[in-house]
Amino acid sequence: MEVILKEDIANLGHRGDVVKVADGYGRNFLLPRKLALQATETNKAVIEQMKASAARRAATEKAQAEQQVTKLEPLLLSFTRKAGEHGHLFGSVTSADIAAGLAAHGFEVDRRKIQLNEPLKSLGEFVVPIRLYREVTARVKVNVVAEASEDAGTEKTAASEEAAAE
């Protein structure tokens, strides 16, 4: 049985492909779930129109993503976290934190598009890739700084008071 795929199916094909499948697989799985259409001449024409509109939509989405990259690249996100004496954080900066930081700057980015292998757990400046579209990736600088502790502030004021007394 020949079918036209309406969705990408692993180990079978991509949307719009005409593939040959077993009769039972097509009749009992693909067609009832509306994952495929029977490969008739009319359905082939409909799928060609759907492919053309999908190509146009993909081109506009890619152009929008490239436009967003030019706005995101110069951006520097800064996060203040409590840290230990060796620069390790008492927590972390996650993709959700970065998404919230981008939202504060007016960019709506889904946290799943932020390509952070593991949360940032140390101080410093990092470059975090954000995959906006298939081949379009923005790189945003993220700066993690230590929160000013109260102990350090009292030591400075005590030292300045001693210097003023002398």
d(CA 29, CA 24): 8
**According to CATH, what is the number of the domain 2-62?**
3.40.5.10
- Taking residue 77's Cβ as centre, other Cβ atoms within 10 Å add up to 19
Residue 154: the pLDDT is: 46
Residue 150: the pLDDT is: 58
- CB-count burial class (<10 Å; 0-12, 13-18, 19+) for 35: middle
Tell whether domain 70-152 is in CATH 3.10.430.100. yes
- Taking residue 99's Cβ as centre, other Cβ atoms within 10 Å add up to 19
Residue 57: the pLDDT is: 87
Domain ranges for the chain: 2-62, 70-152
Residue 166: the pLDDT is: 47
Q: Which two tokens stand for residue 15?
A: 């949307």
Per run of 10 residues, the mean pLDDT along the chain (length 166 residues) is: 87 87 94 91 83 86 90 92 88 92 91 90 93 88 85 47 47
Q: Reduce the DSSP state of residue 154 to 3 states and report it.
A: helix
**pTM higher than the cut 0.85:** no
